[in-house]
Structure 1
Amino acid sequence: MKNRRGLLIVLSSPSGAGKSSISRQLMADDSNITMSISATTRAPRPGEVDGVHYHFLSDAEFDRMIEEDEFAEWAYVFDHRYGSPKEPIKEALRQGKDILFDIDWQGTQALVYAFGHELVPIFILPPSMDELEKRLRGRNTDSEAVITGRMHRAEREIGHWFSYDYVLVNDDFDQCLSEVKQIIQAERLKKIRRPDLPRLVRQLVERPNE
């Protein structure tokens, strides 16, 4: 497709439901999909590169961007602030690039307010809470207290499922990934994302005066 506008693809889910794995595979399979680079006030971790993994900002710089309305959304996460700068998102849309967001319900609502129909919100459900807990324990990275906290938070997050345009159940990874890809392909074909269509239609219906 020529001159297609980009998509803002949101994948939300409770921790352990599979959104991170689906995100990685989407980007591996489709070079036109890239992850949004968030700004954050936390310090870089070993191996993280500024401008690649995050935009690392001081508290003062983050405050300035909030005051000048430069974020599409921002929030506190574990005592640090994270936000999505507007300008890179707008430029990606103009260039027909698809940007992937791994954010929660509140961040999704902020993006809906900022970008409206440009957004494709997808929520990933686990097949059951027992399976979700099994996946969290299978990581062998979290303490019992952390797992309990994640399960309580999952219940709250699942309660916002109705705010998303698409809701999928990740009981089979390959099937769920395929469904996400089908959603993206269908959204790419919508007329609102194809500015070349009005010109084509005019060419089809207009005839030289006889």
Structure 2
Amino acid sequence: MPNDNQPVLDAEGFSPTTGSRRTGGRLIVLSGPTAVGKGTVEAKLREDHPEIWMSVSATTRDPRPGEVDGVNYHFMTESEFVDKEAAGEFLETAVVHGMAHYGTPLGPVEEHLASGVPTILEIDLQGARRVRERAAELGLDVVTVFIAPPSFEELKRRLIGRGTETPEQQAKRLETAKVELAAEPEFDIVIVNETVDKAAADLWNVIADEYGIPRE
């Protein structure tokens, strides 16, 4: 007997009511302010749940020492990137510092979603907005997750404590963080990164709910 809450899909996997594309689950778009610890939370999540798939970005910048093509980034020439962009092969693109192109390849995202593999894209605030717009055009389902600090003072403490920036750079990052924190209401779900273990577990529960798999 059909579920009244289940969307009706046509033969090609589209819902005429929502315009959504059928997938094994929604694309998890992860973002948050600078220094909030997104990368650390992501690393813990991947350690605990290696079955998830993290989208690998494409870029036209040169590989840095130790970076591996297809693992850290998909490295390509500018002409290759521009051709793929023109062909609609990216979910989103950006030019960073007026030089290098960056983008999220669309094909692998769609393939993993269609296979029911938990699929995550970690991206900055502007990128998350571009993904949301492009996904709406494509009929691709996304759920946006914002990683937030317990407080701005705690974010400041963490940023200063890691000691990787000059005082001037720290001040600039904190001003950027204020703008990014103001975007929190734009997101579907907010996870407060009080501890890495708890934030990673909370993120997994979001993924589990989306993909119909057991929570922690």
- Paired-residue identity, %: 39
Matched, 1:188 2:208: no
Counterpart residue type for residue 133 of structure 1:
K
Shift of the alpha carbon at 1:114? 3.4
Counterpart residue type for residue 168 of structure 1:
I
Counterpart residue type for residue 49 of structure 1:
V
Matched, 1:66 2:85: yes
Contact 1:7 1:97 in 2 (8 A): no
Corresponding residue to 1:155 among 151, 173, 178: 178
What's the C-alpha RMSD, in Å, of the aligned pairs?
Answer: 1.8
Structure 1: state its 5+ residue gaps: 191-210
Task: Spell out, residue by residue over 1:166-200, the C-alpha distance to the aligned partner (whole angstroms, 9 max, x if none).
Answer: 0122123332222212111111129xxxxxxxxxx
Partner residue, 1:86: 106
Matched, 1:32 2:51: yes
Moved over 6 A (4+): none
Aligned length: 187
Corresponding residue to 1:22 among 27, 30, 41: 41
Contact 1:6 1:95 in 2 (8 A): no
TM-score, normalised relative to structure 2: 0.80
Shift of the alpha carbon at 1:31? 2.1
Give the whole-Å Cα distance in 2 for the aligned partners of 1:7 and 1:32: 16
Contact 1:10 1:120 in 2 (8 A): yes
Partner residue, 1:113: 133
Task: Spell out, residue by residue over 1:49-68, the C-alpha distance to the aligned partner (whole angstroms, 9 max, x if none).
Answer: 11121111111111112211
Q: Which has the higher contact order (CA 8 A, sep 6+)?
A: 1
Give the whole-Å Cα distance in 1 for the aligned partners of 2:71 and 2:204: 25
Structure 2: state its 5+ residue gaps: 1-22
TM-score, normalised relative to structure 1: 0.82
Which of structures 1 and 2 has the bigger CA Rg?
A: 1
Give the whole-Å Cα distance in 1 for the aligned partners of 2:201 and 2:54: 19
Corresponding residue to 2:196 among 158, 166, 173: 173
Contact 1:39 1:55 in 2 (8 A): yes
Contact 1:7 1:96 in 2 (8 A): no
Counterpart residue type for residue 11 of structure 1:
L
Task: Spell out, residue by residue over 1:7-55, the C-alpha distance to the aligned partner (whole angstroms, 9 max, x if none).
Answer: 4222211121121111011111112212211000111000111112111
Give the whole-Å Cα distance in 2 for the aligned partners of 1:187 and 1:83: 25
